[in-house]
Amino acid sequence: MLARQRLFQLLAGLAFWACSEPVRAPENAGGMPASAGGDSSAGGDSSAGAGPTGGGTGRCHADAPPNAWASWPMPDPGDPGSRTAQHYTKSEPDIVLDDVTELSWQRRLSEQSYSWDEARQYCDCLTLGGYDDWQLPSRIELLSIVDFTRQNPALDPVAFPDTPFDWFWSASPLAGSDSVVWYVAFFDGNTHLSTKDSAYHVRCVRHAEAQARHYMALGNGTVTDLATGLVWQQTASPAQLSWADAKTYCAELALSDARFRLPNMKELQSLLDETRTEPAIDSSAFPATPSEGFWASTPLVGSSSAAWFVNFSSGVSYNSVIEHPYRARCVF
C-alpha cells in the first residue's frame, strides 16, 4: 500500500510541477483505503437528528457565511508546549470543542458519503447536543483539525474516533466557480478540488459569524495578521529554493530583530484567501506574490525525502520531494 500511495503522490506532484491543477473526481487510486464507517456503539448516535440522506434541495435553516480565513490562531499539534498547542474538550458524547479555535465539531460521523449539496443539507438539518445550527465547515475550518504529525487518519483519534481516512467536503467553492469545491483528504491532510457530484464524507461544525480579515503592515517589510497573531515577511523569497535552503533562508532573514522561520503547514494555509485566485492571497497586504508553490516546514510523516507545500495559484496543498524548488515566505 505504501508503494502505491507514494506512486499516487509522485504522479500528483508531477502534475503540480507542470502547473496543472486538475479537478479531482472520486477515486480510490494509489492504494488509498475505502471508508471505514464510525462505530455508533462506542458513543451516541452520530446520525441522530440528521437531515435527508440522499436527494432533495430543501434547507433546514439559512447558512451563515463560511469563514473564508482563520479568525483565530491555528492549532499546532506539533508543539505541545506552545500557546496554540492543539487541545480538545469533549463537551458532549458527540460534540468536541477545539479549545484554540473555539469551534465545536461533530465528533462521530454518519457512515454515508454525500454529494456536496447533500452534505450541506445534512449539516443544515443536523440536531446534535440540543443545537440545530450546524453547518458544513469552510476549508480553513476543516484544515484547523488536521494533524500533520499523523496519517490514516491525519487528526486526533481520541477527539475524533472512528474517522475514515478518506475525503471530506468543505463549504468553500473555488473562487469564481459554481461547480468546483474544496475538500480535505484526511489520510494525510492534502487539499484539492472536486466537482459537486462527487461522493465524500462530511463532518459538521458550529462556528461564530465570519469576521473581517485584518492585516497591518508594520513598515519594516513585515505584515501582522491580527487574528492569528502571526507576523509575516511581506514579500516572497526572490528565488525558488529547495526545502532545506528555504528553511535556511528564513533562519537568516534580517527583518527587524525577529527570528524568522519557515511556517508550518497550518500557518502557511492561513494566508490563503478563498475569494481569490492567481494568487490566492490578499494582494494589498502581500503585493507581487507569485502564483507558485511555497514550502511549509512540515515534513511528510514517515518520509525523510518529502515535505508539504501550498500552491498559491488557487490554494492546492500537497507534498513534494524536498529537492524540488519552491518559494518561501517567512514568519515569526
List, for residues 73-92, the tens digit of each pLDDT value. 999 888 787 888 999 998 78
User: Residue 143 CA to chain centroid, in angstroms?
Assistant: 3
38 contacts: CB under 8 Å, gap ≥ 6: 46, 108, 109, 110, 111, 161, 162, 163, 164
- Residue 151, pLDDT > 80, answer yes
Closest CA to 137 of 169, 166, 161: 169
Residues of the chain with CATH 3.10.100: 38-211
251 DSSP 8-state letter: H
What integer pLDDT is reported at residue 67 of this predicted model? 78
Mean pLDDT value of segment 205-232: 87
What integer pLDDT is reported at residue 251 of this predicted model? 97
**For residue 31, how many other CB atoms are within 10 A of its CB?**
13
**For residue 255, how many other CB atoms are within 10 A of its CB?**
17
133 contacts: CB under 8 Å, gap ≥ 6: 61, 206
Percentage of the chain with pLDDT > 90?
A: 68
**Residue with cell string 515577511:** 233
CA distances (Å), 56 to each of 53, 109, 116, 172, in order? 9, 20, 12, 20
What integer pLDDT is reported at residue 82 of this predicted model? 82
76-80, 105-109, 141-145, 232-236: least confidently modelled range? 76-80
Assign 61 a pLDDT band (cuts: 50, 70, 90). confident
CA distances (Å), 142 to each of 11, 206, 242, 243, 270, in order? 25, 12, 29, 26, 12
- Residue 57, pLDDT > 50, answer no
User: Residue 53 CA to chain centroid, in angstroms?
Assistant: 25
Closest CA to 99 of 123, 83, 111, 112: 83
- Residue 116, pLDDT > 90, answer yes
- Residue 168, pLDDT > 90, answer yes
- Residue 306, pLDDT > 80, answer yes
- Residue 284, pLDDT > 80, answer yes
24-33, 95-104, 117-126, 236-245: least confidently modelled range? 24-33
- Quote the CA–CA distance of 35 and 122 in Å, as a whole number: 18
What integer pLDDT is reported at residue 5 of this predicted model? 40
Whether the Cβ atoms of residue 97 and residue 107 lie closer than 8 Å to each other? no
**For residue 324, how many other CB atoms are within 10 A of its CB?**
18
Whether the Cβ atoms of residue 298 and residue 331 lie closer than 8 Å to each other? no
Higher pLDDT, 150 or 24: 150
Name the class of domain 38-211: alpha beta
299 DSSP 8-state letter: E
Mean pLDDT value of segment 265-282: 94
What integer pLDDT is reported at residue 302 of this predicted model? 93
Which one-letter amino acid corresponds to residue 174? L
At 118, phi and psi to the nearest 5?
A: -65, -35
What integer pLDDT is reported at residue 22 of this predicted model? 34
Q: How buried is residue 151: exposed, middle or buried, by Cβ count under 10 Å (0-12/13-18/19+)? A: middle
Mean pLDDT value of segment 102-118: 95
Mean pLDDT value of segment 278-295: 96
What integer pLDDT is reported at residue 62 of this predicted model? 67
What integer pLDDT is reported at residue 269 of this predicted model? 96
Highest mean pLDDT among 65-74, 76-85, 175-184: 175-184
Determine if the peptide bond prior to 263 is cis (ω within 30°).
no
- Quote the CA–CA distance of 306 and 194 in Å, as a whole number: 25
Average pLDDT over all residues of the chain: 83
Whether the Cβ atoms of residue 70 and residue 140 lie closer than 8 Å to each other? yes
